[in-house]
Structure 1
Amino acid sequence: MRITLQPSGLSLELLPGERILDGARRLGFDCPQSCRNGNCHVCAALLVEGKVRQQGVELEHGELFTCVAEPLEDCLLHWDGVLAPGELPLRKLACQLVECAAVGGDVFRLRLRAPAGKPPRYHAGQYLLLEREDGSQAAFSIASAPHAGRELELHILARDDGTRNLLEFIRRQGLARVQLPFGDCHLAELPVGPLLLLAAGTGLAQMHSLIEHCRSAGFAHPVHLYWGVRRPQEFYRLPVWEEWQRRPNLFLHPVVSDPQPDDGWSGRCGLLHQAVCADFPDLAELHVYASGSPAMVYGTLDALVAAGMDARQMRADVFVYAPRPA
């Protein structure tokens, strides 16, 4: 039996004779439930279409309790609070400001601490929304990894008045109001095979989270990080960089796209995809994550696909918030 859920649009394929809640939990969904015998009403849903049997009574509409309801045909339910496997609930937190420090390249490292007893829940690679003084919100990648507990880290480029005002507001308040988590470009499950991480500027924040999560989880496959900026002075100081350099399966590749003669840069030059193609004649086994502007991400995607990569190997939040026209 197929159970379709509103307002999420999720669907469940139940086994014959299986109760709705039992089937949802078997499939890995997180559902509101408590007593499992129809008395507490926590698992209540509204039957919009279809037919179910509940404690010996057949229902074709109205409220049902998913812990005891058995579908007799395909059904449409209005059931709030159901989360797909790996999905986390959105939460709003008022976090204490721990540090707001300039780290070079007009970037600030913002460190926050969530309230005691309310550790933030997110997957490595997701992002959050910071609340401005006027109540609007700005999105920033979470640079910390889930094992950091109550600690949250952000890398914020402050070159415009709006971002500078946001940081000044947080300093004055001594706290930051955040909402999280967002984004499906994450590592809820570690892949089998090497990772290729591509970051432009503060896109490194997302990759920082992915790398720290891999380290904590004992990820055994190689991880290749390509970090690109326009001029070398745009690289900012990362406290873990020297420690990363000592990791046997972590390979770091800083790349400058537009160095000037007086920069003193003797490292790699060019675009990120050029460096990747020079290092990897075969891209087939790589799991690719990219973070940067839409132009950077789509330009990199096109270049790597032309070099033999399957487009389905690359993940980026840009694909969701700035999709290409059909």
Structure 2
Amino acid sequence: MKVTLQPSGHVIELLPGERIIDAVRRLGFDAPQSCRNGNCHICAANLISGRVSQNGTERTRGELYTCIAEPLEDCEVEWQGVLAPDELPVRSLACQLVEIQDVGGDVCRVLLRTPAGKPLRYHAGQYLLLERPDGELSAFSIASAPHEERLLELHILLREDSTRALVEHIREQRMVRVRAPLGDCCLPRLPQRPLVMVAAGTGLAQMQSLTEFCLHEGFTLPMHMYWGVRHPGDFYSAPHWQHWQQQENVYLHQVVSDTPDWPGRQGMLCEAVCEDLAVLADYDIYLCGSPPMVYATLDALLAAGAVREQIHSDVFSYAPRED
């Protein structure tokens, strides 16, 4: 028996005769409930479709209590505030500007401080939305790692008028509203396999968060980072690069695609990965870049033996490709 939870879209599978809230607990979801504290009706949901039995009465529509409702067939319910395992609540908050630093390559490093009090919880590799002066939202990877607590670091490319205007607005106001955390290309806990991290341009921000989290938590398996740009001048000063170079399990690669006289490594990022690593099925792989770059890299890695379930990118969610 399956129950689809809205608005999250999560689908849970129930055991025979199992109540909805018991299935949610068994599967590790976090859901509104306070029965054990004597507060009834907190677990209420709305039955959209299907049939349930509640205290011996069959229901096909309207409010139900997940603590006593037993589905009689596949159902769909509206139940606000339900979080899947490792899913964190999205919050909107005002952050204080700490610093805006020019790091080269038309990139600025923006440091924000979240409000004191209840900390913002996020997983390494997630992203946030910055609120523009017109109320529109723009997405940026969080380059900091969760252990940095109130500090949020962003790497912002300043090649569009709208983005330059946003950064100037933050500089003038010394504050900005953010919505976070978002994205499922992240590490709630340390991985069980070595990592390959492939970043184009400011996609390095997401990989910085993953790397700093792993190092902080004592990860000892190999981490291969591939950072690619079109021209050497597009590389910017990565704040932890020298520290990473000193780590025995971190392997750094800079790749330039469109400058033939570049003395370093040239070509496509996917080519560099395939040249270096013989058995890609042994790795968890994280990709960050434009949708065309991510899908081209995905196809090349799969052809070289990578496992699809072990390749992760936010592009797969916000720009899904029709297969």
Would you say same fold, with TM above 0.5?
yes
Change (3 A) 1:36 1:15: farther
- Return 281-290 or 92-101, whichever deviates more: 281-290
2:126 is aligned with 1:126: yes
| Aligned residues of 1:38 and 1:65 also touching (Cα < 8 A) | no
| Aligned residues of 2:143 and 2:206 also touching (Cα < 8 A) | yes
SS at match of 2:254: strand
| Counterpart in the other structure of 2:9 | 9
**For 1:279-321, what per-residue CA distance to the aligned partner results, in whole angstroms no more than 9, with x for missing partners?**
1122221111111112221222222223232333321122222
| Aligned residues of 2:20 and 2:71 also touching (Cα < 8 A) | no
Change (3 A) 1:302 1:16: closer
Distance in 2 (alpha carbons) for counterparts of 1:51 and 1:37: 25
**For 1:190-241, what per-residue CA distance to the aligned partner results, in whole angstroms no more than 9, with x for missing partners?**
3221100001110100100110111122222110001111222211112211
Relative to the length of structure 1, the TM-score reads: 0.91
| Aligned residues of 2:222 and 2:250 also touching (Cα < 8 A) | yes
| Counterpart in the other structure of 2:153 | 153
Q: Which runs of 5+ in 1 are unaligned?
A: none
Alignment of 1:108-127 (within 5 A): 108-127=108-127
Deviation at 1:65, TM superposition (A): 2.7
Distance in 2 (alpha carbons) for counterparts of 1:144 and 1:62: 44
Change (3 A) 1:76 1:290: closer
Q: 1:272 aligns with which of 269, 272, 290?
A: 269
SS at match of 2:35: coil
Alignment of 1:276-315 (within 5 A): 276-315=273-312
| Counterpart in the other structure of 2:51 | 50
Distance in 1 (alpha carbons) for counterparts of 2:321 and 2:22: 40
Change (3 A) 1:293 1:13: closer
| Counterpart in the other structure of 2:70 | 71
| Counterpart in the other structure of 2:253 | 253
Deviation at 1:17, TM superposition (A): 4.9
Deviation at 1:123, TM superposition (A): 1.5
Change (3 A) 1:164 1:72: closer
- Amino acid in structure 1 at the alignment position of 2:65: F
| Counterpart in the other structure of 2:319 | 322
SS at match of 1:199: strand
Deviation at 1:36, TM superposition (A): 3.3
Q: Give the % identical residues.
A: 60
Alignment of 1:220-231 (within 5 A): 220-231=220-231
| Aligned residues of 1:47 and 1:63 also touching (Cα < 8 A) | yes
- Return 10-19 or 200-209, whichever deviates more: 10-19
Change (3 A) 1:43 1:283: same
Query: How many correspondences in the alignment?
Result: 320
| Aligned residues of 2:127 and 2:141 also touching (Cα < 8 A) | yes
Q: What's the C-alpha RMSD, in Å, of the aligned pairs?
A: 2.0
2:163 is aligned with 1:166: no
**For 1:33-72, what per-residue CA distance to the aligned partner results, in whole angstroms no more than 9, with x for missing partners?**
1233774322111234323234xx53525433323x1416
**For 1:56-93, what per-residue CA distance to the aligned partner results, in whole angstroms no more than 9, with x for missing partners?**
x53525433323x1416234432111111121221111
Alignment of 1:202-217 (within 5 A): 202-217=202-217
Alignment of 1:14-33 (within 5 A): 14-33=14-33
Distance in 2 (alpha carbons) for counterparts of 1:258 and 1:244: 26
Distance in 1 (alpha carbons) for counterparts of 2:3 and 2:318: 29
Q: Which runs of 5+ in 2 are unaligned?
A: none
Distance in 2 (alpha carbons) for counterparts of 1:300 and 1:19: 44
Relative to the length of structure 2, the TM-score reads: 0.92
SS at match of 1:124: coil
SS at match of 1:284: helix
Deviation at 1:260, TM superposition (A): 5.4
| Counterpart in the other structure of 2:88 | 88
SS at match of 2:169: helix
Distance in 2 (alpha carbons) for counterparts of 1:299 and 1:2: 36
| Aligned residues of 1:118 and 1:150 also touching (Cα < 8 A) | no
